[in-house]
């Protein structure tokens, strides 16, 4: 498609809607968990106030150039993942910059943010950051295996590397969704989705009881504000990716909100029911059942 | 690094000549804290409202009051609905709760954590031991007046105060911040020499830089 | 009524030990300083007092002595025994018992810092225990005025006064007598 200046405006509009949705989702999920635990819970607009407060801090400490660039890499990973995916199928405004072959680009952008964070956290020199970064990177590497196998299987099934075509092939009823026509790839993708959401049982990277906050230990004030913005955008972009690949995409915003909310609830349900894995246990788990599902998915196509 | 590594001594340089090193002076930076002025009043009102609604507390229980902070996280008293969260690192937190008595050994660590927090920061003093020494008023090892060593915003009296009292103290702190009086960090930077002289008078083995930013 | 205590056969081995009974599970023994380690070893190896409960000291400033108290416990018969010994107050030293119980090293470190009693050979006995950078006399001794030290070093808040009713009425009713 041709590139015109109005596409930048459309991209910013998509970004704005997704940012607000991510912040509200970040506020509502702890509220649901608190109501289940018979508490009032935090307010639903609390993430907004946290970001304003962090940017309103008057002083900063810097550890060097890479320390500055760490959050920038992470935020650009999140925004990049969002921009190269069709958010609303069939809409010229919210179709973003999708092109043929963007499935591989999306897989690359998932890993890019974590690597940038690792470099930044390493420069901060804190030993807790280094431990958290090594744990996080080994977990992400382990979960990329079933993810990639499932994605390749879906691409072979539909014969295209373009997400918009994959979504187009799933229209026309619920039984056309990939999760029903290619269940093994769907299972592999949903299991690796649990790991990338950062909830139990795979939250050893950031759990406060394990290690004081892991990679973002030394990040504060404005840097932490940028990281929190990314924390709102990146999960929603991943949810939209999974929705496009497995659940038939969305043709309107309310349908997108409903579908992504329920996919997020899948990780929350698993998270409240299971305890935490150690890093070697989670790596071993990812190389077990999900990898098996991915291999079967490739063999059956 | 053990204690003996921090003393002045003579070592051999890689060129083969003996040189004098003084690690406390060479390795540590000797910057002083700066006073950060607030911005325009209309922005400052909004920013103060945001700072008061999201208070991140450092999870460092200094004395016997640490056991009174824990019920605030449970469903019965639930401090999370007021925007109060506990953070594990001083870099990200803005409120330091000094809970109870403060021995000389803990004061050294508290100073190190307090100076790593970013401007603006607030100190809540819990219990009567921070006001005038409390139960340990004639002890050789605890400090008697906290505000000669750190700038304090709110005192919460009691031995120990109940969780409802601590929540009321947080409410008072929010009022102070919204009125613009939560300038403890600037007070610390302006009277830095006086605070540091008081601290060094009782902490006799000082092996940190003067300002641990 | 038990006339002979379970510890009567101690007297055959250590004739210098005085044994007296407080109640059925608690006995006291007092022994001169040179035979203490032998007595404690005998109690541990032969009589079965396997558990060192505490090692503490008392400052008898009038007699110019420190009293060391070792509390041992027999877990099978459930009997406690308190072994006491006196050491001189100037330049106090005592033999260490850390080869019998590991935790005695920490007790001895505390006594060294708080009372000044030296236990040569005990591991880490010179490292500061609670007080860092302390340069006054050891604070648990009775000639250390902790109230005066606290008033001089820390800044007490003015306004701490007592309201004793007897003093108040005396001042009110008899203002002439001071």
Residue ranges of domains in chain A: 5-300
Is residue C132 one of the residues assigned to a domain? yes
Q: pLDDT tens, A43-81?
A: 889 999 999 999 988 888 877 888 888 888 888 888 888
Q: Which pLDDT tens digit goes with each residue over A248-291?
A: 888 888 888 999 999 998 888 888 888 888 888 889 988 988 99
Q: What pLDDT was estimated at residue A258?
A: 92
Provide the pLDDT for residue B32: 82
Q: How confident is the model at residue C69 (pLDDT cuts 50, 70, 90)?
A: very high
Give the model's pLDDT for residue C2.
40
At C176, the pLDDT band (50, 70, 90 cuts) reads confident
Q: Which of B34, B50, B94 sits opposite A52 (nearest CB)?
A: B50
pLDDT of B10 above 50 = yes
- By Cβ distance, the residue of A30, A59, A212 closest to B88 is A212
Residue of B nearest to C151 (CA): B138
Mean pLDDT of B147-168: 91
Please check whether residue B101 lies inside any domain of the structure.
yes
What contacts C45, CB < 8 A, 6 or more positions away? none
pLDDT digits (tens, 9 = 90+) for A124-179: 778 877 888 888 888 888 888 888 899 999 988 888 888 888 888 888 778 888 88
pLDDT of residue A208: 57
pLDDT at C3: 42
Query: Which structure tokens are listed for B61?
Result: 């229980």
What is the average per-residue pLDDT within A229-236? 88
First-to-last alpha carbon distance for chain B, in angstroms, is: 19
Average pLDDT over residues B28-33: 76
Preceding omega of B6 cis (within 30 degrees of 0): no
Residues 6+ apart with CB under 8 A from C91: none
Residue B127 covered by a domain:
yes
Of residues B114 and A121, more confidently modeled = B114
Token pair 């990146």 is found at A234
Summary mean pLDDT of chain C: 86
- A127 part of contact set with chain B, CB < 8 Å: no
- Domain hosting residue B189, numbered range: 43-202
A40 touches chain B (CB under 8 A): yes
The DSSP 8-state label assigned to residue A98 in this structure reads: -
pLDDT at residue A96 greater than cutoff 50: yes
Residue C16 lies in a domain: yes
Which of B141, B145, B150 to mutate: most C Cβ within 10 Å? Answer: B141
Q: Decide if the complex's ipTM is over 0.90.
A: no
When divided into structural domains, chain C yields a total of 1
Pair A178, A245: CB distance under 8 Å: yes
Q: Is the per-residue pLDDT at A119 higher than 70?
A: yes
User: What number is the average pLDDT over the span B84-99?
Assistant: 89
Average pLDDT over residues B160-172: 92
Least confident of A10-24, C25-39, C116-130, C156-170: C156-170
Q: How many CB atoms lie within 10 A of CB B135?
A: 14
Residue C6 has pLDDT above 70, yes or no: no
In whole numbers, what is the pLDDT of chain A averaged over residues?
Answer: 84
CA distances from C143 to A11, C97, C138, C146 (A): 79, 28, 10, 9
Note down the domain range covering C137. Answer: 8-173
Using the beta-carbon criterion (under 8 Å), do B108 and C132 form an inter-chain contact?
yes
The answer on pLDDT for C21 being more than 80 is yes
Find chain B residues with C-beta within 8 A of C144's C-beta. 140
Under DSSP, the state recorded for C45 is I
Asked if the peptide bond before residue A201 counts as cis, ω within 30 degrees of 0, the response is: yes
Burial label for B212, CB within 10 Å (0-12, 13-18, 19+), is middle
Give the CATH number, domain containing residue C31: 3.30.460.80
Q: Which of the residue ranges A170-184, B14-28, B32-46 would you say has the lowest mean pLDDT?
A: B14-28
For residue A41, pLDDT beyond 50: yes
- Judged against a pLDDT cut of 60, whether residue A32 lies above it is answered with yes
- Touch test A–B: 3 Cβ pairs or more under 8 Å: yes
Three-state DSSP string of chain B: CCHHHHCCEEEECCCCCEEEECHHHHCCCCCCCCCCCCCCHHHHHHHHHHHHHCEEEECCCCCCCHHHHHHHHCCCCCHHHHCEEEECCCCCCCEEEEECCCEHHHHHHHHHHHCCCCCCCEEEEECCHHHHCHHHCCCCCECCCHHHCCCCCEEECCCCCCHHHHHHHHHHHHHHHHHCCCCHHHHHHHCHHHHHHHHHHHCCCCCCCCCCC
pLDDT level of residue B33 (50, 70, 90 thresholds): confident
Q: Quick one: average pLDDT of C125-150?
A: 86
Contact residues, chain B, for C131 at CB < 8 Å: 104-105, 141
Strand, coil or helix: C19:
strand
**Confidence band for C1, pLDDT divided at 50, 70 and 90:** very low
Contact C27, C20 (CB under 8 A): yes
Chains that touch A (3 or more CB pairs under 8 A): B
Alpha-carbon torsion, ordered B40, A230, A72, A201, to 10 deg: 130
Query: How confident is the model over B135-150, as a mean pLDDT?
Result: 89
**pLDDT (mean) for C67-87:** 91
Q: Check whether C61 has a pLDDT greater than 50.
A: yes
B35 shares contact with chain A (CB less than 8 Å): no
Banded model confidence at residue A2, pLDDT cuts 50, 70, 90: low
- Among residues A266, A57, A126, C37, which one has the least CA distance to residue B120? A57
Q: Which residues of C touch B132 (CB under 8 A)?
A: 156-157, 159-160
Residue A210 pLDDT exceeds 70: no
pLDDT at C20 over 80: yes
Provide the 3-class DSSP secondary structure of residue A186. helix
Mutant choice from A34, A36, A37, A42 vs B, greatest count of B C-beta within 10 A = A42
Mean pLDDT confidence for C25-32: 89
Q: Which of residues 86-115 of B touch A (CB under 8 A)?
A: 87-89, 91-92, 94
* Structure confidence at residue C70 (pLDDT): 93
Let me know: does A71 contact A219? Beta carbons within 8 Å. Answer: yes
Given a cut of 70, whether residue B58 has pLDDT beyond it is yes
Both tokens assigned to C175: 């203002």
Q: What is the mean pLDDT of residues B60-68?
A: 87
Kind plus residue range of the DSSP H or E element containing C22: strand C18-23
**What's the mean per-residue pLDDT of chain B?**
86
Provide CB contacts within 8 A for B93, sequence distance 6+.
B56, B57, B58, B59, B87, B117
């Amino acid at each position: 498609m041709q590139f015109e200046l109005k596409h930048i405006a459309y991209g910013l509009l998509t970004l704005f809607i997704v940012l607000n949705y991510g912040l509200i989702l970040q506020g509502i999920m702890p509220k649901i968990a608190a109501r289940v635990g018979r508490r009032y819970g935090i307010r639903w607009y609390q993430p907004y106030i946290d970001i304003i407060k962090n940017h309103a801090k008057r002083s900063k400490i810097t550890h060097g150039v890479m320390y500055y660039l760490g959050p920038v890499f992470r935020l650009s990973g999140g925004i990049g993942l969002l921009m190269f995916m069709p958010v609303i199928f069939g809409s010229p405004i919210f179709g973003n910059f999708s092109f043929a072959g963007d499935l591989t680009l999306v897989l690359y952008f998932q890993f890019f943010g974590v690597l940038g964070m690792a470099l930044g956290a390493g420069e901060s020199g804190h030993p807790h950051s280094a431990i958290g970064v090594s744990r996080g990177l080994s977990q992400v590497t382990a979960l990329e295996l079933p993810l990639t196998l499932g994605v390749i299987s879906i691409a072979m099934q539909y014969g295209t590397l373009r997400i918009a075509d994959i979504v187009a092939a799933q229209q026309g009823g619920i039984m056309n969704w990939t999760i029903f026509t290619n269940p093994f790839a769907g299972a592999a993708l949903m299991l690796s989705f649990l790991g990338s959401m950062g909830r139990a049982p795979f939250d050893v990277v950031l759990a406060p009881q394990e290690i004081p906050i892991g990679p973002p230990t030394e990040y504060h004030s404005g840097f932490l504000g940028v990281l929190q913005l990314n924390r709102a955008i990146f999960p929603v972009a991943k949810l939209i990716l999974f929705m496009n690949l497995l659940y038939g995409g969305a043709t309107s915003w309310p349908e997108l909100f409903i579908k992504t909310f329920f996919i997020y609830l899948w990780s929350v349900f698993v998270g409240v029911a299971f305890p935490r894995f150690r890093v070697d246990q989670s790596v071993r788990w990812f190389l077990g059942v999900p990898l098996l599902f991915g291999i079967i998915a490739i063999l059956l196509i | 690094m053990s204690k003996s590594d921090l003393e002045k001594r003579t070592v051999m340089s890689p060129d083969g000549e003996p040189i004098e090193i003084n690690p406390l002076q060479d390795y540590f930076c000797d910057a002083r804290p700066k006073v950060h002025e607030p911005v325009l009043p209309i922005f400052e009102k909004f920013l103060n409202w945001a700072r008061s609604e999201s208070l991140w507390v450092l999870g460092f229980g200094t004395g016997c009051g640490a056991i009174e902070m824990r019920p605030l996280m449970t469903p019965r008293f639930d401090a999370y609905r007021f925007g109060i969260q506990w953070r594990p690192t001083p870099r990200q937190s803005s409120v330091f709760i000094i809970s109870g008595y403060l021995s000389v050994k803990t004061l050294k660590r508290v100073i190190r954590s307090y100076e790593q927090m970013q401007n603006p920061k607030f100190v809540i003093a819990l219990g009567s031991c921070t006001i005038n020494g409390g139960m340990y008023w004639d002890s050789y090892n605890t400090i008697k007046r906290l505000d000669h060593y750190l700038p304090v915003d709110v005192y919460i009296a009691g031995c120990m105060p109940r969780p409802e009292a601590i929540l009321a103290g947080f409410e008072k702190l929010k009022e102070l911040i919204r009125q613009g009086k939560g300038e403890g960090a600037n007070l610390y930077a302006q009277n830095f020499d006086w605070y540091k002289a008081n601290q060094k008078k009782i902490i006799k083995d000082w092996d940190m830089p003067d300002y641990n930013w | 009524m038990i006339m002979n205590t379970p510890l009567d056969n101690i007297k055959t081995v250590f004739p210098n030990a005085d044994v007296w009974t407080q109640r059925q599970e608690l006995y006291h023994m007092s022994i001169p300083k040179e035979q203490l380690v032998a007595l404690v070893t005998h109690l541990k190896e032969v009589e079965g007092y396997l558990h060192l409960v505490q090692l503490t000291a008392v400052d008898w400033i009038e007699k110019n002595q420190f009293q060391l108290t070792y509390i041992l416990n027999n877990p099978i018969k459930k009997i406690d025994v308190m072994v006491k010994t006196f050491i001189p107050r100037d330049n106090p030293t005592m033999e260490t018992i850390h080869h019998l119980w590991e935790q005695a090293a920490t007790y001895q470190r505390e006594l060294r810092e708080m009372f000044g009693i030296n236990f040569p050979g005990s591991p880490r006995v010179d490292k500061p225990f609670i007080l860092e950078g302390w340069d006054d006399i050891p604070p648990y001794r009775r000639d250390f005025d902790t109230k005066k030290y606290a008033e001089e070093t820390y800044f007490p808040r003015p306004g701490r006064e007592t309201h004793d009713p007897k003093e108040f009425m005396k001042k009110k009713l008899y203002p002439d007598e001071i």
